[in-house]
Structure 1
């Protein structure tokens, strides 16, 4: 086969493959258009009609003779009832849209605040949380590991430093571009970091965090010594995991 024939065959193959690749997008557009048409029909057939009839009643009341008080009152009452029906229809449409909308995943900062409140309530110990929004949002699997680390670190602080001041912070990490820094600290008794190298039998949490975090491009640094509290820093570089 000549190069020209090969090129034509390749172009033909690409032309056939292109619609297949675009099929999901086309189906999504058709589905979205169908939803828009259904919404337009609902607004036209119900809401717009009710408001139109209500406006007619109001216009009739406004144009009525001065001595036609009873007719005017009847028109206004009917118009008011139609507007009430329109309001109910509007709420029904809004409810349908809310029910049809996909659930919105809470942002990482919001989940950190909820986590601090949850652990604080379980331990009956206040946790100070200062969590700033992080943009762009990390991938879901990164968020899951960061939240797991925060849960473990907060739990350890509350268990081993009861009555201490426990703080959770979340910040954009400018030194790492679009990365972030999650910090858990307490002013409790601290501990010997070497203990992490030989965890007690049956203990699974803290000593497994470094490997788990490394799997999503994050690192854990513990700053502690006996009598000096604990500061745990979880850094995620941002650009390290963008698959």
Structure 2
């Protein structure tokens, strides 16, 4: 049922009280009141449990009012049912239409009571008193339901946020481990094989016996094949966007995938491109993926600009958006949920780079810089 079960049980009990009074007082129309009470209960239960559209809810309440009027005209003490209807209107429809409906119900209660009992004073006072009590109780239910729905929404948001955070942490952990393995292979196996290959190549120029020279050539070719395998493994552990693409192409693909809806993301490249180590290129792609994801999902930005700049001594990646911004002080709060930002900073620092972020309403800028030192040697 849309709202609390207790309210609907109360309405059914009030209808059954009308039937019970008719039976105990042996009213002449009890033969009609019984079926009408059953119809009221069935319509109430079916409508409360199945109807959701506003128009359907109004039609449902109108049908209940029609059954109530029929019961009252037959002589039943239907004021109990009218009280239940007041509660339903006060909780099921907007406040102004609800008050209007309560006024009409009160007027009908008064007119029907005068027609059946002929007492204006008592009918008017009783109807007004029942309406006031019904409105007060209905407002209480209204506030209770609203607070219950708000808390339920908060609980659902919390569960969803926790699930997203857990998935983000799991994904970030997997990516970090893949990149760590790629860096380890690059810095140890690949670099070692590259050095061995260079030394063997130099040894080939020496005046060696024929048998020894042949073995050195074979060893160099073996080291070369191992180096190629190591590089393929590094590429497999690196971001898919880098596979067969330059760094600029990979960043452009990330921007194209993230752009859409209300946000436009553009990529600018400044300076002369230079060769970068695979770990640095991988980190730049991962950092951009995280940054544009934050822009699209959280910043509510309309425009974002990604700038890749090759300087004399460093490569820079800047992401600027015009979203609502956030308080960067949360980065120093261990209880705040900013796992993604901390993961970015950690990834940059592990590679010897610099990471910074500044934000205010209408402007957020993330900046990353990696030094360009011994790039040719490291990228081999």
TM-score range, shorter chain: 0.5 to 0.7
CA distance in 2 between partners of 1:133 and 1:216 (Å) = 22
Q: Which one of the candidate residues 220, 236, 243 is aligned to 2:355?
A: 220
Structure with greater Cα Rg: 2
CA distance in 2 between partners of 1:240 and 1:228 (Å) = 39
**Residue by residue, what CA displacement relative to the aligned partner does 1:138-163 show, whole Å, maximum 9, x if unpaired?**
11111111111111111112222214
**Residue by residue, what CA displacement relative to the aligned partner does 1:162-196 show, whole Å, maximum 9, x if unpaired?**
1432111111122x1xx311110012222221212
What displacement does 1:124 show?
5.5
Higher relative contact order (CA 8 A, sep 6+): 1
Secondary structure of 2:259's aligned partner:
helix
**Which residue in 2 is equivalent to 1:139?**
277
Higher helix share: 2
| Cα gap change, 1:18 to 1:124, in 2 (>3 Å) | farther
Asked if the contact 1:197–1:207 (Cα under 8 Å) also holds between the matched residues in 2, the reply is no
**Which residue in 2 is equivalent to 1:105?**
244
CA distance in 1 between partners of 2:324 and 2:337 (Å) = 23
What displacement does 1:24 show?
4.8
Unaligned 5+ segments in structure 1 are 1-10, 30-102
- Tell me how many residue pairs correspond in the alignment: 155
**Which residue in 1 is equivalent to 2:287?**
149
**TM-score when scaled to structure 1?**
0.53
| Cα gap change, 1:14 to 1:144, in 2 (>3 Å) | farther
Unaligned 5+ segments in structure 2 are 1-205, 225-241
Q: Which one of the candidate residues 177, 182, 191 is aligned to 2:317?
A: 182
RMSD across aligned positions (CA): 3.5
| Cα gap change, 1:150 to 1:104, in 2 (>3 Å) | closer
**Which residue in 2 is equivalent to 1:170?**
308
**Which residue in 2 is equivalent to 1:33?**
none
Q: How does 1:42-53 map to 2 (within 5 A)?
A: none
| Cα gap change, 1:111 to 1:27, in 2 (>3 Å) | same
Asked if the contact 1:134–1:180 (Cα under 8 Å) also holds between the matched residues in 2, the reply is no
| Cα gap change, 1:12 to 1:207, in 2 (>3 Å) | same
CA distance in 2 between partners of 1:236 and 1:139 (Å) = 11
Higher strand share: 1
What displacement does 1:228 show?
4.8
Establish whether residue 236 from structure 1 lines up as the match of residue 374 from structure 2: no
**Which residue in 2 is equivalent to 1:40?**
none
